[in-house]
Structure 1
Amino acid sequence: MPSLLLTVFLLQLAIHLVNTFGASSINTLLWNLYSNLPISKSESSAEQRELKSQYMKVRKEMNAISSQDEFAKWAKLRRQHDKLLEQLEKNKASTDSTRATFDSAVSTLRWLGTNGLRMFLQFWYSKQAMFWIPKGWVPYYAEWLLSFPRAPLGSISIQAWFLACTAIIILVSDALVAIVALVAGLGSGTAQKAKKEPIAVPSEKAGSKEKEEL
């Protein structure tokens, strides 16, 4: 069943990527994409940014004048400042509430699509063999472990296949990280060495000596 084998591998890869990048980073990325969609929530985010821009502009103008020399203008700007600040706080509270609901929904869907799906597959296909081991290749106790908990003896269970996929993904991931770190280290070392190497400049004595020989 190549389709199930590939499904298990891709599912374990997705779980590894989520654990590597972090759930909060993924939630933030999805929230930014969601905020830029042409819907009401996106309009609310755009309104929040516009209010913040106006607030910073009024605050800058208010700080640029003296409250004693230009009291009337300063008082007008102060009222605008307080009004914009109040609107910002209300919009921020609304946005924070929406963001909390969004994070909760995304976290639930992500868990159902990764760990929840993995648990379902492990239960549903627990008695089914992923593939069979050639007879006599491994001892009896190894066959029992590889078929644990309920797959036919002499086969690879879905639990064992999940563990194998996890081990392979971690090994490849660590190898890629090590290669990238090595290449980055060599690149930075070469750049530093090039900066430290002095540039050979011909001296005046050498130049004059060459002229005399000519």
Structure 2
Amino acid sequence: MSEAPQEAVTGILHPGTMGVTVGAACSGTVLWASEGRSDATRQRAADAGLVDVGDLASMVATADMVISVCPPHGAEALADTVADAGFAGCYVDANAVSPTTARKIGALFEDFVDGSLIGPPAKEPGTTRLYLSGSHAEGVAARFEGSALEPRVLQGGETGAASALKMAYASWTKGTSALLMSVAALAAAGLPDGFHRAASEVFERLGVFKEARGASVERLIAALLGSPATRADGDEQV
């Protein structure tokens, strides 16, 4: 007779305003460590039904998956702490970090999934998505199926792909909002000039395409990245 499959046990670091909804949306048993956390965090975790195991060492010894949801500047240090504690399961970094940082964190673990959260805290379906990339992404997504948090696996996405998507999304939404607010306040003194200097450099890099029609996306991106630009007729410009 075959043994019954073991219940999934997930650890959540840390159940803040967003993190607690990630934990609540995850199937199976969800653990958290209250050591050093505030009374407000303790109450959020209790209201969400998370199981307090006291400290990080107890969490990593029990959970087969740990999900990190913390301020971006603390993502690397938190991952180092989990790795140093001997965690041998799947580590999911769902923080707003760069692809380079995601790959650096991923190197600490044998099983790693790069994640990015887009939307508000996942309190109701249809508002928030968890994008996932990496070889174990499907297994992570399975824990959120049918919940308020919608998992999306980036097919063929390597480690860093989900973080790149988050960076692109944030650049578009927050960047354009900041630019429009600066334009609206154009008569005010003391506005930062970084937007306009950056725009000038973008147009300078794309200057070779000024008279061109139908330039490929690949050539435009190469020019923006500072790679050798190409003429409109396809000849390399050095």
Give the TM-score category using the shorter length: under 0.3
TM-score, structure 1 normalization:
0.23
Structure with more helix by fraction: 1
Structure with more strand by fraction: 2
TM-score, structure 2 normalization:
0.21
Structure having greater relative contact order (Cα 8 Å, sep ≥ 6)? 1
